């Protein structure tokens, strides 16, 4: 009863927004229509105001437009929240700010002009904490990092400084930032009261497990990192994949061995998979399915809001794949695969 | 006085070479708010764009330099001529060079401080080892089968690192904590050093560089570390001296740069408000109507006849964009600040500052009526006027009105017997106090409704003004119900007229919401009913909110009674009076603050939320000097 009274408005908004989400069939239809223009693709997904022709030098690139639309939904939903639930969702949106931060650090390290870096950034509106203008006005990386140390991202600044001074390995910085972000997300979930955590911890835990598994496959078998480093770089939390199991998995030598040692449902879902890319798509689809189940449920809880944001993010990724695929004149099957609609890549 | 000053939309046409001079005139007058849009298609060029960009870059460097090594500046902007684009570019380049030096200096300073911290931590570790019987040299030395490493990692990373190095057959032992870092020793069989090094890099590992002499002579090692620390301190000192030298060396040129950029600020501040083609330039923006004549004269003095100034009244469709400029008497300024804290009046909207000032201090007095305490507050306002930064009139007024209500209540520092109440002692008839508070609330809400109606009419939302929940219909409903309740309280029953008026008003409000909301019939009914219900409930909940005015008046007396009760428990006369004085200090500080917050809450929530939009655009004039930064 308490949840109903607390989240009645939010639930109504989520239901209204969820009704406008384009299904996988809808996306599939868009890919199938050869004469469908980019603006039609975006209109079909409820992004009528967005003009893909603007994704040139003069306007926002497509990616930023799509993220901006997701943040617009986020802003509507988060307005109805207070306390720990609000902090949780604001923390979730922090991922886009971290994306900005990574773009700024990378851009400065690569010596890109400020205007070019700015084009890669997403406008966080009132939820932004990065002093973007100040950071872009810095003369060099050293000054950038000094400025960054006076922001809420000082830990990232310290990490980036070590990397910049010692080895200039940006991968290490990205990995550290992402790991810290996901560990924080789990902490945010734990700070919610029991009623609010219903299903939310399952969904977030599933996303963390999926991310950990994908990173493990990528670090071990694509980047060929040693087991100890692979394990260190994984997120120190999860639902089904916890520390000891991740230690065991990090020691294994082939993807097949890793998949065989996975607990259910991962082992079943990934049976026969031989590449990290295929595993990514399968696991993402399963997470999305879980989010859809939660969104369809009639329960009044935060998990529905989170599920909506996850699915909205998925749709935007699919649309990006469709628009980019069309621009590059890719075959429909390849676009389907990139949009996560096909289980494995075209032969 | 009750509305923002009438504005004129101006378009100033000047020759391109005269545009900077025109900008200086506009900035000197301080009455021109640049406006970006409305550039005619024929004037598509932006002649000030490059200047603006060069200024922005130079200003950015200068601000950073001044933050790093401040220079003393004259308050008056020296008269220097407007720099050309080439001069501005040269200045920007020079400022960049200076900033790079400052930045290098800062970076060296940071490194020196970092190194100092590191050495201090090593010293701590050395102290710890000194107390233990451990051959540190042996630990550090390379071994045939064992790989041992000593270093520091962020404390948060230790557990994860221990688990990770275990995969390579290593063990990790923490030694001590130091400022978020942990000293650790890791050891394992030789052969997998590369794997472990990779993990250590990911864990932000910092190897301890212990002196080789440690094993032989710990005192020598300590001396060496202290010498190293001294070198670091000396290096930091050198860097600081470099900053001082730079301050002296560049002082004059930096002061000059400040003046040049101050003069350049107005023209740069015009930004995209400046458009043109060929030799013609247009500057667009807003000027208070009363200032137009003076501005025209100033332009004539500077440019002669080489300009055309056209002005017009703002169109209704522009009202949302017209900047609002209010000028208040200094006595009312603190109240204006509190109003601005809520929002800026929209152009044409009623400025609630005077009403806010009057009702706020009245409510404060009603809730905190005490002659003694009131005069103490007023005296504090007068004596602390410097520290209060312009808020002194606010405090003095609140204190005096509090003292005034103290006469009405007959209360002096909580003593109820010293002065005969001109009206009533609050605890003598609390019900009457509550009824008076209700009447005050009703009056306040009706006044707020009148202001809402005026604002709606100004916005040309006539139907809303007439039939809206906060319009005439809503007011009639409220008045009818209040009258009905009053009659019932007096012993009679509400007459048919009251019911008829209330029902008709509700019906009108329902019809209005029905008309306004487009949708399916069922949905429209639901929305209209919800809106009417919200409006109706809002009236009564807001009115009841004003009961706190009486409640805090009673609370004040109750607190005084509590203080006297405590004072009567003391054994000595001195203790008695000390308790009374301290009790009154407590009342003045804490109750005074709470009452001020409650009065502000009533103003914001029950008043402003009804009639004040506060979504106006503040008038930001183009100005000379440092203030020019606000023009962006």
Summarize pLDDT for B197-231 with one digit per residue, the tens.
888 888 878 877 665 555 556 677 777 777 877 88
Q: Do B202 and A232 touch (CB under 8 A)?
A: yes
The residue of chain A with its CA nearest to that of B98 is A139
Q: Do B204 and A158 touch (CB under 8 A)?
A: yes
- The shortest CB-CB distance from B199 to any of A146, A176, A232 is to A232
CB atoms within 10 A of CB B113: 15
d(CA A245, CA B47) in angstroms, rounded, equals: 66
* β-pair partners for B310: B11
pLDDT band at B452 (very low <50, low <70, confident <90, very high): very high
Across the range A44-62, mean pLDDT stands at 54
Across the range A33-39, mean pLDDT stands at 63
- pLDDT, residue B406, reads 94
Residues of chain A neighbouring B159 (CB-CB closer than 8 A): 236
H/E run at residue A289: helix A276-296
pLDDT band at B361 (very low <50, low <70, confident <90, very high): very high
Residues of chain B neighbouring A228 (CB-CB closer than 8 A): 164-165, 167-168, 195-196, 198-199
Residue B584 pLDDT exceeds 80: yes
Residues of chain A neighbouring B198 (CB-CB closer than 8 A): 225-226, 228-229
Residues of chain B neighbouring A250 (CB-CB closer than 8 A): 167
Q: Do B161 and A232 touch (CB under 8 A)?
A: yes
Burial (CB count within 10 angstroms: exposed 0-12, middle 13-18, buried 19+), residue B430: middle
Q: Is A176 on the interface with B (CB under 8 A)?
A: yes
What percent of chain A is modeled with pLDDT above 70?
87
- pLDDT, residue B134, reads 61
pLDDT tens digits, one per residue of B103-139: 888 888 887 777 777 777 777 777 766 665 566 666 6
Residue B534 pLDDT exceeds 50: yes
Q: Do B201 and A176 touch (CB under 8 A)?
A: no
Please tell me which of A151-160, A322-331, B499-508 the model is most confident about, judged by mean pLDDT.
B499-508
- The shortest CB-CB distance from A146 to any of B106, B161, B198 is to B106
Q: Is A8 on the interface with B (CB under 8 A)?
A: no
Domains and CATH numbers, chain B: 7-97+243-324 (no CATH), 136-214 (3.30.70.2750), 430-611 (no CATH)
Residue B265 and residue B27 in contact, taking contact as beta carbons nearer than 8 Å = yes
pLDDT band at A55 (very low <50, low <70, confident <90, very high): very low
Q: Is B110 on the interface with A (CB under 8 A)?
A: yes
Residues of chain A neighbouring B100 (CB-CB closer than 8 A): 139
Q: How many residues does chain A have?
A: 347
Give DSSP secondary structure letters for B169-196: T-EEEEEEEETTEEEEEEEEETT-HHHH
Average pLDDT, chain B: 85
Residue B377 pLDDT exceeds 90: yes
Residues of chain A neighbouring B102 (CB-CB closer than 8 A): none
The dihedrals phi and psi of B631, each to the nearest 5 degrees, come to -75, -15
pLDDT band at A300 (very low <50, low <70, confident <90, very high): confident
What percent of chain A is modeled with pLDDT above 90?
0
Q: Do B195 and A227 touch (CB under 8 A)?
A: yes
Residue B316 pLDDT exceeds 50: yes
CB atoms within 10 A of CB B459: 17
Q: ipTM, 2 decimals?
A: 0.79
Residue B52 and residue B89 in contact, taking contact as beta carbons nearer than 8 Å = no
Q: Is B6 on the interface with A (CB under 8 A)?
A: no
Residues 6+ apart with CB under 8 A from B17: B279
pLDDT tens digits, one per residue of A157-184: 877 787 777 666 677 778 888 888 888 8
Across the range B19-48, mean pLDDT stands at 80
Across the range B430-446, mean pLDDT stands at 93
pLDDT band at A4 (very low <50, low <70, confident <90, very high): low
- pLDDT, residue B467, reads 93
Residue B492 pLDDT exceeds 80: no
Q: Is the pTM of this model over 0.95?
A: no
Residue B563 and residue B506 in contact, taking contact as beta carbons nearer than 8 Å = no
- pLDDT, residue B376, reads 95
Residues 6+ apart with CB under 8 A from A31: A322, A325, A332, A335, A336, A339, A341
Q: Is B534 on the interface with A (CB under 8 A)?
A: no
Average pLDDT, chain A: 80
Please tell me which of A302-316, B39-53, B125-139, B489-503 the model is most confident about, judged by mean pLDDT.
A302-316
pLDDT tens digits, one per residue of A94-136: 889 999 988 888 888 888 888 888 888 888 888 888 888 888 8
Q: Is A135 on the interface with B (CB under 8 A)?
A: no
d(CA A148, CA A131) in angstroms, rounded, equals: 9
Q: Do B106 and A159 touch (CB under 8 A)?
A: no
Q: How close B113 comes to chain A (CA, Å)? A: 13
The residue of chain B with its CA nearest to that of A158 is B204
Q: Do A172 and B60 touch (CB under 8 A)?
A: no
pLDDT tens digits, one per residue of A272-287: 777 777 788 888 888 8
Residue A87 and residue A188 in contact, taking contact as beta carbons nearer than 8 Å = yes
Domain ranges of chain A: 200-296
B133 vs A30: which has the higher pLDDT: A30
Q: Is A147 on the interface with B (CB under 8 A)?
A: no
pLDDT band at B631 (very low <50, low <70, confident <90, very high): very low
Across the range B259-282, mean pLDDT stands at 83
d(CA B20, CA B82) in angstroms, rounded, equals: 7
Across the range B513-522, mean pLDDT stands at 83
- pLDDT, residue A283, reads 82
Q: Do A232 and B99 touch (CB under 8 A)?
A: no
């Amino acid at each position: 009863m308490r949840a109903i009274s607390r989240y009645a408005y939010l639930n109504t908004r989520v239901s209204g927004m969820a009704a406008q989400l384009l299904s996988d069939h809808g996306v599939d239809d868009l890919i199938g229509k050869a004469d469908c223009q980019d603006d039609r693709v975006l209109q079909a997904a409820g992004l009528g105001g967005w003009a893909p022709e603007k994704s040139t030098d003069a306007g926002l690139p497509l990616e930023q437009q799509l993220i901006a639309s997701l943040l617009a939904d986020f802003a509507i939903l988060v307005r109805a929240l207070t306390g720990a639930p609000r902090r949780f969702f604001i923390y979730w949106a922090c991922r886009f700010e971290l994306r900005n931060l990574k773009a700024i650090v990378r851009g400065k390290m690569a010596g890109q002009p400020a205007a070019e870096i700015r084009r890669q950034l997403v406008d966080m509106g009132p939820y932004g904490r990065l002093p973007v203008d100040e950071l872009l006005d810095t003369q060099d990386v050293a000054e950038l990092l000094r400025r960054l140390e006076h922001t809420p991202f000082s830990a990232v600044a310290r990490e980036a400084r070590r990397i910049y001074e010692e080895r200039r390995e940006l991968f290490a910085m990205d990995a550290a930032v992402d790991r810290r972000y996901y560990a924080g997300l789990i902490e945010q979930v734990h700070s919610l009261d029991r009623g609010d955590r219903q299903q939310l911890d399952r969904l977030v835990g599933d996303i963390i497990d999926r991310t950990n598994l994908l990173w493990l496959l990528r670090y071990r078998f694509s980047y060929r990192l040693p087991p100890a480093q692979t394990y260190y770089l994984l997120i120190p939390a999860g639902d089904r994949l916890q520390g000891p199991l991740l230690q065991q998995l990090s020691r294994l030598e082939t993807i097949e061995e890793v998949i065989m040692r996975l607990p259910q449902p991962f082992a079943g879902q990934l049976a026969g998979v031989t590449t990290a890319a295929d595993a990514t798509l399968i696991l993402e689809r399963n997470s999305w399915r879980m989010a859809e189940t939660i969104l369809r449920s009639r329960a009044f809880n935060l998990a529905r809001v989170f599920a909506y944001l996850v699915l909205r993010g998925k749709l935007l990724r699919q649309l990006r794949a469709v628009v980019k695929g069309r621009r590059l004149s890719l075959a429909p099957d390849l676009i389907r695969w990139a949009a996560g609609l096909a289980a494995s890549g075209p032969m | 006085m009750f509305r923002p000053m009438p504005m004129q939309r101006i378009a100033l046409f000047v020759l391109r070479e005269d545009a900077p001079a025109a900008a200086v005139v506009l900035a000197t007058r301080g009455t021109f708010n640049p406006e970006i849009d409305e550039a005619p298609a024929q004037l598509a060029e932006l002649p000030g764009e490059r200047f603006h960009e060069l200024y922005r870059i130079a200003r950015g460097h200068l601000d950073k330099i001044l933050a790093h090594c401040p220079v003393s500046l004259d308050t008056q902007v020296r008269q220097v001529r407007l720099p050309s684009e080439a001069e501005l570019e040269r200045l920007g380049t020079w400022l960049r060079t200076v900033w790079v030096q400052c930045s290098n200096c800062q970076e060296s300073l940071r490194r020196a401080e970092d190194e100092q911290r590191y050495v201090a931590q090593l010293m701590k570790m050395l102290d710890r080892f000194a107390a233990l019987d451990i051959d540190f040299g042996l630990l550090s030395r390379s071994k045939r089968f064992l790989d041992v490493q000593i270093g520091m990692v962020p404390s948060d990373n230790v557990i994860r690192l221990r688990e990770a190095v275990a995969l390579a057959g290593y063990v990790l032992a923490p030694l001590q904590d130091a400022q978020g870092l942990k000293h650790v020793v890791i050891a394992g069989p030789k052969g997998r050093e590369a794997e472990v090094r990779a993990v250590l890099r990911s864990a932000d590992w910092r190897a301890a560089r212990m002196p080789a002499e440690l094993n032989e002579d710990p005192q020598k090692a300590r001396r060496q570390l202290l010498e190293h620390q001294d070198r670091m301190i000396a290096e930091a000192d050198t860097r600081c001296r470099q900053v001082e030298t730079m301050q002296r060396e560049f002082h004059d040129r930096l002061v000059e740069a400040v003046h040049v950029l101050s003069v350049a600020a107005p023209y740069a501040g015009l930004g995209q408000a400046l458009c043109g083609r060929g030799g013609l330039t247009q500057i667009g923006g807003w000027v208070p109507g009363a200032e137009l004549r003076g501005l025209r004269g100033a332009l004539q003095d500077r440019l002669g006849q080489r300009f055309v100034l056209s002005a017009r009244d703002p169109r209704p469709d522009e009202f949302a964009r017209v900047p609002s400029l209010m000028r208040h008497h200094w006595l009312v300024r603190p109240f204006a600040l509190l109003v601005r804290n809520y929002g800026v009046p929209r152009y044409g909207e009623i400025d609630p500052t005077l009403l806010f000032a009057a009702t706020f201090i009245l409510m404060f007095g009603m809730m905190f009526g005490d002659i003694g305490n009131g005069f103490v507050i007023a005296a504090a306002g007068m004596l602390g006027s410097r520290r209060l930064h312009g808020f002194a009139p606010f405090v003095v007024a609140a204190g005096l009105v509090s003292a005034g209500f103290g006469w009405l209540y007959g209360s002096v520092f909580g003593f109820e017997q010293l002065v005969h109440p001109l009206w009533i002692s609050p605890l003598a008839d609390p019900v009457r106090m509550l009824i008076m508070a209700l009447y005050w609330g009703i009056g306040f809400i009706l006044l707020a409704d009148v202001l809402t109606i005026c604002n709606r009419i100004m916005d040309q939302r006539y139907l809303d003004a007439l039939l809206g929940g906060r319009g005439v219909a809503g007011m009639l409903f409220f008045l009818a119900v209040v009258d009905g309740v009053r009659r019932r309280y007096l012993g009679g029953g509400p007459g048919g007229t009251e019911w008829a008026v209330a029902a008709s008003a509700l019906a009108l409000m329902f019809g209005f919401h029905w008309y306004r909301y487009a949708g399916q019939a069922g949905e429209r009914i639901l929305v209209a009913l919800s809106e009417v219900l919200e409006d109706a409930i809002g009236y009564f909940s807001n009115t009841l909110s004003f009961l706190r005015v009486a409640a805090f008046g009673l609370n004040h007396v109750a607190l005084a009674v509590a203080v006297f009760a405590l004072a009567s428990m003391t054994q000595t006369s001195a203790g008695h009076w000390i308790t009374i004085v301290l009790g009154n200090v407590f009342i003045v500080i804490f109750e005074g603050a709470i009452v001020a917050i409650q009065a502000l809450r009533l103003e914001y929530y029950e008043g402003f939320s009804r009639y004040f939009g506060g979504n106006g655009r503040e008038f930001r004039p183009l100005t000379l000097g440092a203030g020019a930064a606000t023009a962006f």
